[in-house]
Amino acid sequence: MKNQSGSGLVYFTETGRMCPVCRNALAQCQCKAAAKAAPAGDGVVRVSRQTKGRGGKSVTVVKGLALDAAMLAALGKQLRTACGSGGTVKDGVIEVQGDHCELIMEALRKQGHQPKRAGG
């Protein structure tokens, strides 16, 4: 039989549905409030170029944006479209394939952010 260490209480007759993460009733769930809180940033957006661990290919990395996940994904899409290349958004960091630091910094300035060039 499989070990079900990740399983837990899903429904309780007195309170109804339970949150699987915080184990509280959905009405008193602490997870949703923590997820909706805006991530803290220092106000400085750092744009850098990385090649480490990517087989010599360069990637432009944007860090320090104080945006929620949906806004970050939308901004990532705009930056990838402006550069005409692919990329991803993960762990609060936007990655755009290729060396597009200057183009991304200009696009971020137009949006009202204060980008700084980080790294070499």
Phi-psi region of 119 (alpha: psi -120 to 50; beta: other; left: phi over 0): left
CA nearest neighbour of 80 among 53, 92, 62, 54: 62
pLDDT of residue 21: 75
49 & 28 share domain: no
Beta strands in the chain (DSSP E): 11-12, 16-17, 45-50, 59-63, 87-90, 93-97, 115-117
30 & 50 share domain: no
pLDDT tier for residue 9 given thresholds of 50, 70 and 90: low
In this predicted structure, the answer to whether residue 11 has a pLDDT above a threshold of 90 is no
The C-alpha angle with vertex 33 and arms to 31 and 35, in degrees rounded to 5, equals: 70
26 & 49 share domain: no
pLDDT of residue 113: 87
In this predicted structure, the answer to whether residue 36 has a pLDDT above a threshold of 70 is no
User: How many domains would you assign to the chain?
Assistant: 2
pLDDT of residue 1: 46
3 is in which domain, residue-wise? Answer: 1-37
pLDDT of residue 17: 79
53 & 9 share domain: no
Start-to-end CA span in the chain (Å): 54
55 & 96 share domain: yes
